[in-house]
Amino acid sequence: MEYKPGNKPDKVKHKALENLVDLILPSTYVEFHSGPGRYNGYDGSSVRTLNILKGRGIDSTVYLHEKDDGLRQQLIANTLGFKSDKQEIFVGGEWENSQENYLNADHSWLFLLDPTKIKSYNKYSINFLDKTLSTGANFLLYMPQGLFKSKQQQKARRGHRKKVKEIKDLIGKYQRNYLDRFIFAGRGNLKRKDHIVIVSELIPDLKACFKKYISN
Ligand SMILES: C[S@@+](CC[C@H](N)C(=O)[O-])C[C@H]1O[C@@H](n2cnc3c(N)ncnc32)[C@H](O)[C@@H]1O
């Protein structure tokens, strides 16, 4: 499964993210999977968030992670213009190497986890969520769940379903307020059910606030 910037589910994800950032106006915003920030004129998650924070003129600190060296250089170039007295921006490589910096999060922080594959919710991500869900921080977790039609792929299908349940159970363990909405994408044997999971107590009625962006 490959990431296609600007396709329908991607646009829905970006609208939901923009709405979330605008409602929360986080003091600290952290992305674990940033990509280059901008794709041939189409703005990605980091540039969209930085635009909103800049427009609202609030003080914020932004940490962006991209493991690919080439994409990280593009990310640096695409976000440089947003640096100001009000907005500090740090760009790093693999988020796993910096996770200790984020354990002191609180209810004013927002994390975006947006990997291309659901299997990236590995033991490190689960362990991180287990440590930070208790801090009251806000999250947008994007989970592309493969639905795999063919019999041979039943195992993968079960694995994906199990992973979504594991993450939702973890959110439940900390009794967090959350919304799980999804959009269907892909064709043939690679149908996907992309979950957009939002965790936040700052927006008590998540369903009402996100109905417009995520309809099904
Ligand atoms: C789906 S794309 C990100 C899309 C981006 N959030 C957006 O909406 O514009 C996933 C990106 O995460 C990066 N990535 C994957 N694992 C990572 C890790 N452990 N740390 C940092 N970046 C990672 C990949 O190289 C890829 O560019």
d(CA 94, CA 184): 29
Question: 8-210 has which CATH code?
Answer: 3.40.50.150
**Which atom of ligand 1 has the smallest separation from the CA of 96?**
19
Q: Residue 151 C-alpha to ligand 1 middle, in angstroms?
A: 30
What 8-state DSSP symbol labels residue 74?
A: H
pLDDT reported for residue 75: 98
Would you report the helix, strand and coil content of the chain in percent, each value rounded to 5? 45, 25, 30
**Which atom of ligand 1 has the smallest separation from the CA of 112?**
6
Average pLDDT (24-36) is 98
Average pLDDT (107-113) is 98
Q: Residue 175 C-alpha to ligand 1 middle, in angstroms?
A: 28
What are the boundaries of each domain within the chain?
Answer: 8-210
Average pLDDT (153-166) is 92
